[in-house]
Amino acid sequence: MNNLMRWQPAGVSNWPWFGRLNDLRDEIDRLFDLPLAEMARTPSILSGWTPALDVYENKDNLVVRAELPGMKREDIEVTIHDDSLSISGERKMEQKAKDTEVYRAERFFGRFLRTVTLPSPVAVEKVKAQYVDGILTITLPKTEEAKPKQITVETA
């Protein structure tokens, strides 16, 4: 009945959770590096004017909604190239009356460009864009190949 074991200090290699901690540290590093990498790749972020986007899908369509308040329809451009949707435009600064003093100026003006990689192929010829109350809604119908298919299960 001699079950005594020699004591060894806990080392890094003996700790089974060390690999998971390394993975966690790598993931945290990736999360902090991602926004910085995005800023370096997208100069519009540095200018401060980047409209907010929502992208969602249902079984037939991808839908992109962009907040573009204060813009005119003719100042907005939507393009599709390969698997990317780009929304660009310019929000022009309003002319201020003479002899005015600005106490606060928080709205952004100038050019912007937002590009989104589309998660599935779309029928480009059927894409529709609507601009209502400062919200641009782009409906991108999926191609037949990209739509989910119902498979009938048969019995033997």
Q: Are residues 38 and 87 in the same domain?
A: no
pLDDT tens track for 31-81? 776 655 555 554 444 455 789 999 999 989 999 999 999 899 999 999 999
Q: What average pLDDT does this structure show over 8-19? A: 58
Q: What is the total count of domains within the chain?
A: 2
Q: Evaluate whether 52 touches 69 at the Cβ level (below 8 Å).
A: no
Identify whether 41 is part of a domain: yes
Q: Are residues 23 and 58 in the same domain?
A: no
CB-side exposure of 91: number of CA atoms within 13 Å? 17
Q: Are residues 89 and 141 in the same domain?
A: yes
Domain extent at residue 137: 49-93+109-147
Q: Are residues 31 and 56 in the same domain?
A: no
108's tokens: 């952004």
Most confident of 106-110, 111-115, 127-131: 127-131
Please state whether the predicted TM-score (pTM) of the whole model is above 0.85. Answer: no
Rounded Cα gap, residues 134 and 154, in angstroms: 50
b/e 68-96 (16+ beta carbons within 10 angstroms → b): beebeeeebebeeeeeebebebebeeeee
Identify whether 4 is part of a domain: no
CATH number of the domain at 140, please.
Answer: 2.60.40.790
Q: What are residue 113's phi and psi, to 5 degrees?
A: -150, 125
- 148 or 48, which is more confident: 148
